[in-house]
Structure 1
Amino acid sequence: MKEKNSVSKSKWKRLFRKKWFFPALYLGISALLLTAVLWYQSGTNDPEQAEDDKGIFDSLNFDGNEEATPVAEQDEVVKAPVAEDAEATVVTKFYDHKADSEAQENALVLYDNKYYQSTGVDYAAADGEAFDVLAALSGTVTEVKEDALHGNVVQIEHKNGVATYYASLEDVKVEAGQEVKQGDVLATAGQSLFAKDKATHLHFEVLNGDTPVNPESFFNQPVSKLQEAKKETEAVQEETADTAGQNEQTETEAPAEENADAEATPTDESGDKEETPDRSDEEKSPEQDEQPEDEATSSSSSAQT
């Protein structure tokens, strides 16, 4: 009997010494626990509770066939109005008042012997060939016209008061009122009288409200960045207006105080004159004051004699 017990113990010891024993034991216990949890959850799925949950969805008028409405629409990113493989580059920059003199000089357009500040950017191909003009953002075409100075023009309105402007076009493919998607071909690059020296090119502007902004500052940026920039600009303008109003009010009040002081000065001087004795009285001596009495006495004495 003792030999059997010693043999069984030795077998267990040899089994414990195996490298796979404890990992296998751990996996087995985990499987049992997972089975127990799944069994418990399946046992708690009460049909009555399921009916109650269904009633909640029915009260919310939820229809599984309806398309899901996104919680927040994805903000569209501003793209360049030319294809990446078009090999068209910016040849005229946006005129930035904060830029250095060299950059500002490169943002001037010569027309009729006068220089004009560029309110957008001009694209041109190195070989001078025409290229497709693409919609930088999705929106509605609000204007298609032929301008004597800027050539064919297309303007597109977007959300939140943003608009894009395309000029110096040829072969326009859209019309007013048409909905376009980002990347749709609007026209091809052409020529205009205003930038005649640029030959075949595209003039592109981004308008934030009625204010042109630097398009290159917002490429690959969401449209919301334009709104943030607009709010910052409006805040600066309001602060500038308030400061100018305060300065104007201060300048208006200052002359009034000076006039008040000037009016007060004569009153004070007249008061001093009233308080100051007359200079003729100061020069009179007591003898001069008594002289008439002596003369009167001598006259009366002569009369008595």
Structure 2
Amino acid sequence: MIAEVIRMREEQNKKTSQKVIKMLRKRWVVPAIYLVSAAVILTGALWYQYSNAPTPTKTGTTVDTREPEAIPASQPEEKLTYPVSKDATVQVKSHYYDDSASKDEQQASLIQMDNNTFTINTGMDLVDKSGKEFDVTAALSGTVTKAQKDAELGYVVVVESGNGLVSYYQSLKSVSVEPGTKVSQGQVLGTAGTALIGKENGIHVHYELRKDGVAINPEKYQGQDVSSIISSVNTKSETKESNTMNTSGNVSDDNEEGSSNTDSDGNKIQQ
């Protein structure tokens, strides 16, 4: 019985193999298999591409659902500030000398050099209302190009901010920076002190702002951004050139060296 069953299965398998062989011998069978395989592969590729495509909206436009790359926010442009900390209680003791100001205002904008010689103020002098020392900070960011003591000006710090803008800080008691230091706006540069030139102001800081070597009114440009200051100076052009104090305390004018006038009291005014 068992032998009969085995014989029948062998005959059945033999018939099935013969049918497969006959089918493969037909010319259309093998190409058909290739076509079916290709169709399966193509269908899979199209499905993958569709699943990663942007989602169409009802109006026919496409919406990209992928996260956009983060774009770093641009830093706001600096605005000129007073060279003191925000919580300082200071006032302007001596203002920038303005050719168009009244005689009284011009008189108040003179800086004493010795007993009877004065020079025009090419910056502004700030004092604490209580007469105390206070921190002097960077009015603009930049690079320190000078930080040294002068016999008549006290400690002097010079900071270049680019685009021809240079800040001068004088009459400092001490400094906390050195040449080559990159400072940010509001960073402490030193402590206000006294100096032989401008001694009538007591403890103060003398601050000047220059564009391409020409002194400009730092009070006039308070709160304005750097590009506005540069544009204003370039278009309006300050009529008065800066008087540059050298390390000996002398003042030289770009047009006429050593020229002087006298005020109503007979004091010499060096220009």
TM-score (norm 2): 0.61
How many angstroms apart in 1 are the aligned matches of 2:238 and 2:217? Answer: 19
Superposed displacement of residue 210, structure 1: 0.6
Task: Summarize the Cα distance change of 1:98–1:76 in structure 2 as closer, same or farther, 3 Å threshold.
Answer: same
Paired residue type of 2:150 = D
Instruction: Note the 1:44-193 alignment, pairs <5 A.
Output: 46-47=50-51, 49-50=53-54, 64=69, 68-70=71-73, 73-112=75-114, 113-193=116-196
Q: Does 1:209 align with 2:216?
A: no
**Could you say which residue in structure 1 is the equivalent of 2:203?**
200
Superposed displacement of residue 68, structure 1: 3.1
Paired residue type of 1:173 = S
Superposed displacement of residue 49, structure 1: 3.6
How many angstroms apart in 2 are the aligned matches of 1:96 and 1:74? Answer: 31
**Could you say which residue in structure 1 is the equivalent of 2:221?**
218
How many angstroms apart in 2 are the aligned matches of 1:106 and 1:200? Answer: 17
Paired residue type of 1:77 = K
How many residues get paired?
184
- The alignment's C-alpha RMSD in Å is 3.0
Q: Which has the larger radius of gyration?
A: 1
**Could you say which residue in structure 1 is the equivalent of 2:7?**
none
Superposed displacement of residue 86, structure 1: 2.0
Residues 131-158 of structure 1: CA deviation (Å, up to 9, x unaligned): 0101111111111111122110001111
Superposed displacement of residue 69, structure 1: 4.3
TM-score (norm 1): 0.55
How many angstroms apart in 1 are the aligned matches of 2:130 and 2:83? Answer: 18
Superposed displacement of residue 220, structure 1: 1.1
Question: Is this contact kept in 2: 1:154–1:167, CA < 8 A?
Answer: yes
Superposed displacement of residue 234, structure 1: 4.4
How many angstroms apart in 2 are the aligned matches of 1:95 and 1:235? Answer: 12
How many angstroms apart in 2 are the aligned matches of 1:111 and 1:235? Answer: 25
Superposed displacement of residue 127, structure 1: 2.5
Q: Does 1:229 align with 2:222?
A: no
How many angstroms apart in 2 are the aligned matches of 1:228 and 1:100? Answer: 27
Residues 179-237 of structure 1: CA deviation (Å, up to 9, x unaligned): 11111111010111111111211101111121111111111111112111221134989
Q: If each structure's strand is expressed as a fraction of its own residues, which one has the higher value? A: 2
Question: Is this contact kept in 1: 2:112–2:199, CA < 8 A?
Answer: no
Greater relative contact order: 1 or 2 (C-alpha under 8 angstroms, separation 6 or more)? 2
Question: Is this contact kept in 1: 2:216–2:238, CA < 8 A?
Answer: no
Question: Is this contact kept in 2: 1:208–1:226, CA < 8 A?
Answer: no
How many angstroms apart in 2 are the aligned matches of 1:126 and 1:102? Answer: 22
Residues 223-272 of structure 1: CA deviation (Å, up to 9, x unaligned): 112111221134989xxxxxxxxxxxxxxxxxxxxxxxxxxxxxxxxxxx
* Structure 2 SS opposite 1:171: strand
Task: Summarize the Cα distance change of 1:204–1:234 in structure 2 as closer, same or farther, 3 Å threshold.
Answer: closer
* Structure 2 SS opposite 1:79: coil
Paired residue type of 2:171 = S
Q: Structure 1 unaligned runs (5+)?
A: 1-44, 57-62, 238-305
